[in-house]
Amino acid sequence: MKKILAALAVVLCFALPCLADNFVTVNVYSGHSLVGGGTPYSGLVGTFTSPDIMFATGTGYAWHPFALPDFGADMFGQLLIPATGLYTFTLDSDDGSLLFIDGLLVVDDGGAHGPAVVSGSALLTAGVHPFEVQFFECCGGPSGVDLLLPTGVTYVPEPASLLLVGTGLLALGSRVRKLLG
């Protein structure tokens, strides 16, 4: 029994942090447009994952990934909508940002500007919906973007995270069968 508990502890130590960290993929670019959300982007500098999009208030409007003064960022993932209904999403950004859900523009906080908060609504069915936030920073001053989700809406872990957890659970099941059998 001690071996089973030890194996479970190992799986959970590796799987749970993965579930907590990989909800949003962020691609950061050195080149961008000064309109809308900054597309088209060019010059991919790097990619990272984040549990959310809170890069404005989370950094005190001092977000400069990879130490870039001006940059574009394309953030994407999936949202879990608990029930069919009208949902209001909010972008808080400096400079431009756009939110797309299911490929449709929901919030337009585009263009070069100081910190601004803009909301938009979408009628969404219950289930998982892909989203994308386009953002750019230019012209000095504050920098960052937040995506504020409506009550009950959550980010969905990336498929790679779920695959890792599933693999860990399969390995644990195999180990348990071996110990008991």
Q: Is the dihedral of CA 79, 81, 86, 92 positive or negative?
A: negative
- Given this model, what pLDDT does residue 173 score? 52
- Each residue of 8-65: pLDDT tens digit? 433 433 344 444 456 999 999 999 999 999 999 999 999 999 999 999 999 999 999 9
Strands 154-156 vs 144-148: parallel, antiparallel or unpaired = unpaired
Beta bridge partners of residue 116, listed in sequence order: 93
Q: Are 52 and 155 in contact (CB under 8 A)?
A: yes
Q: Which burial class, exposed, middle or buried, applies to 124 when counting CB atoms under 10 A from its CB (0-12, 13-18, 19+)?
A: buried
**Tokens found for residue 58:** 């989370």
Domain range annotation of the chain: 23-156
CATH architecture of residue range(s) 23-156: Sandwich (2.60)
Long-range contacts of 107-110 (CB under 8 A, 24+ apart): 108/36, 110/35, 110/36, 110/37
- Which amino acid, 180? L
- Given this model, what pLDDT does residue 175 score? 52
- Each residue of 111-168: pLDDT tens digit? 999 999 999 999 999 999 999 999 999 998 999 999 999 999 999 986 644 444 444 4
- Given this model, what pLDDT does residue 21 score? 53
